[in-house]
A and B are shown apart, each in its own frame.
Chain A
Amino acid sequence: MGLVDQAEFHFFHFFPYTDLPADHRERASLWVDFSNANYDPTVGHDLYNRYLSEMLLADKLGYDGLVLNEHHNTQYSMNPAPNLTAAALIPQTSGWISVFGTPPNLGYPNRLAEEYAMLDVMSGGRLRVAFPLGTGMEYWANAVNPATARARFRESIDIILHCWTDDGPRSYEGDFYTYRYLNPWPRPLQQPHPECYIVGTGSPETIELAAELGFGYSVVFIPRTVQLQVFDRYRERLAHHGHEPTPEKVAIGVMAYVAESDARAEEEFLPHVMYFFENALRTTPRYLNPPGYVTVPEFRKRIQAADVHGSANWDDLVAINRIVAGTPEKVADAIGGWIEEAGSNRLTLNLTLGDMPHWKVVKNTTLFAEEVIPRLRARKEAAA
């Protein structure tokens, strides 16, 4: 069987707030200190309803699952509490719900373990989770010292796993969290716990942590070719720790747009991709890298790397990311290649980006479901 046989297609939504003031382009950052006075709750209400409807459409069209994530102090995402969104989706959907995810060190880990267990039980075992360290920007927005972020991150995950797998009550004495009675109700329906991923940017520490715990791994905002090196390293470390490097362990992100012709697809997709990279992601190096947030090897990497947060060129973006716009055949060809190249059968699909209007999201999501996924599925049948 090839990887495409087993591929799962998950619909990801950032829940962006796009009704920005005209002068927003003059700001160096639309994160951290971009005032929430620019947020209109009545617009937000309409957007929540719209975005939820787009996720429900994806579920009805047969996508394998829906994906949410979390950010703070930003127009990039209206999902600072994605578990609330997941809870709203659960009774209306039948596929996987992936919360990819909440940085576990930004709050109390027992509380996050409880929330995930609730979602898993409520959904009948349809929850998957990822543990991100979170961007540097999250540490400006939350009461956690970035210098201790990584140590706290690791301890938080340890606590969550104990919450899910130990018969309580038990005590836990950590460096950051101590419990006399760790005994959360409920426990997850999936045993021993929902499938877990680490989301990172390819730092050796997060790769090692994912491999050690036997978690899946997903990377964001690093070039595709570098991702492949990261995945190789991750699989090597996974095997080292005695875990089988199966294809579902690696999740890859794809930005795709499908239309009647390549030219039309590009014309309809390009402005929103550019908006996403130029505006939604726009922030400054100082917010990306609060002091102590990155390790020394990661710091060395970052001062040499190009800044992808807020600058963009279509050709460069397409060259270094998994971005495709075109006919169903073209999109299917590209994605089939990326699946094989990465050795992954878990796709997180960004079919809506930035300020894309509703009609394009509906068009793209529908065409992808009806024209691209069947083409990829047909390849396995043809191969058989």
Chain B
Amino acid sequence: MSGAAPVAADGATLVYLPGIAGHPASSPALDALGDAGWHVVVPRIPGLDGRSGFWAPDDYLGWLAVVWDALDATGALPCPVVGASLGGMLAADLAVFRPEAVTASVLLAPFGIFDESHPGLDLYAVPTAERMGHLFAKGVPEPFVERFAELGPEDGPVARYLCDAAAASLLWPLGDRGHAGRLHRLTCPALALWGELDELLPVATSQAWADRGVPVEVVAGAGHLLEWDEPDGVAGRLVEFLASVIR
């Protein structure tokens, strides 16, 4: 991890696509990007926000359309896109299928390729109450502990269920969406960061991405949602990388 000083981005926009547990609050990493001059846009991904009235599209192509509609609604594209976990999977495909929309792609432990030699933890086979603990290496951050708590004891669990269902509909059963066969089409500057202690996608699985041309760097001491476990390190590397590729 580089200790280089952040480079001011002068208000340039980047998009952040959140991970498997949604986006309960801005992370310290995103705040640090803001401090470095980036304007961070987080689109509302239907389903991951736990709101009722949304049900999973029939297939992955339907999901991509939903996500692209949400992205286009922000007006932020083209710009760098940072995606975490399942957001990384979606970000990679955005860069593959809409190269004109992505100027740089940063993937934080992305799903999309299943490595049967390193299957990792099946999160949905873990009791609901224990799932959050497996996403982080340094304890569950408060926003995730309190995720949807504001909705109360009756509606909170429903929102968590809907968020989980939306995420699972993208990832079930293995989190493999065929990226191995199309990553060669990812032509923008790209970087993958991987938590050393990722339980869902063991760090050895990152090799499949490296083999297909996406440089991978391992973040020590971090779990699956590494931007929460190591906010300073992740943000610092993001700022440095983006500064090096965005002219």
Chains A and B belong together in one complex: yes
Residues of A within 8 A of B (CB): 33, 140, 143, 145-148, 151, 175-176, 284-287, 290-292, 296, 299-300, 303
Known: A151-B58, A296-B162. A146 touches B127 (CB 8 A): no
Q: Which of A175, A176, A284, A292 contacts B169 (CB 8 A)?
A: A292
**Which chain B residues in 147-185 approach chain A with CB under 8 Å?**
154, 157-158, 161-162, 164-169, 172-173
- Beyond A296-B52, A296-B161, 4 additional contacts (C-beta under 8 Å) are A147-B169, A147-B172, A286-B124, A292-B166
The answer to whether B161 and A291 touch across the interface, beta carbons within 8 angstroms, is yes
> A284 contacts which chain B residues (CB < 8 A)?
127
Q: Report whether over half of chain B's contact residues are helix, strand or loop; otherwise say mixed.
A: helix
Using CB atoms, name the residue of chain B closest to A291. B168
Confirm or deny: B4 has a beta carbon within 8 angstroms of a beta carbon on chain A. Answer: no
The answer to whether B127 and A299 touch across the interface, beta carbons within 8 angstroms, is no
Cα of A291 to Cα of B167 in the assembled complex, Å: 9
The answer to whether B127 and A147 touch across the interface, beta carbons within 8 angstroms, is no
A-B contact count (CB 8 A): 61
Cα of A300 to Cα of B59 in the assembled complex, Å: 26
> A148 contacts which chain B residues (CB < 8 A)?
56, 58-59, 169
**Total chain B interface residues with beta-carbon distance under 8 A:** 23
The answer to whether B168 and A176 touch across the interface, beta carbons within 8 angstroms, is no
Known: A147-B172, A148-B58, A286-B124. A291 touches B164 (CB 8 A): yes
- The interface bits of chain B over 54-97 (1 if a CB of A lies within 8 angstroms of the residue's CB, else 0) are 01101100000000000000000000000000000000000000
Closest Cβ of chain B to A146, distance in Å, is 7
Closest Cβ of chain B to A142, distance in Å, is 9
Closest Cβ of chain B to A285, distance in Å, is 7
Closest Cβ of chain B to A237, distance in Å, is 22
Closest Cβ of chain B to A261, distance in Å, is 45
The answer to whether B165 and A292 touch across the interface, beta carbons within 8 angstroms, is yes
Cα of A303 to Cα of B169 in the assembled complex, Å: 21
The answer to whether B58 and A176 touch across the interface, beta carbons within 8 angstroms, is yes
Cα of A83 to Cα of B11 in the assembled complex, Å: 65
The answer to whether B124 and A147 touch across the interface, beta carbons within 8 angstroms, is no
> B166 contacts which chain A residues (CB < 8 A)?
147, 292
Contacts A/B (CB < 8 Å), 13 sampled: A145-B172, A147-B165, A147-B166, A148-B56, A176-B58, A285-B128, A291-B161, A292-B172, A296-B52, A296-B162, A299-B158, A300-B154, A300-B158
> B59 contacts which chain A residues (CB < 8 A)?
148
Closest Cβ of chain A to B134, distance in Å, is 13
Q: Which of A151, A286, A300 contacts B128 (CB 8 A)?
A: A286
> B124 contacts which chain A residues (CB < 8 A)?
286, 290-291
Known: A148-B56, A286-B127, A291-B164. A296 touches B158 (CB 8 A): yes
Cα of A175 to Cα of B158 in the assembled complex, Å: 27
Cα of A33 to Cα of B124 in the assembled complex, Å: 13
Cα of A143 to Cα of B169 in the assembled complex, Å: 12
Known: A143-B173, A145-B169, A146-B172. A286 touches B158 (CB 8 A): no
Using CB atoms, name the residue of chain A closest to B165. A292
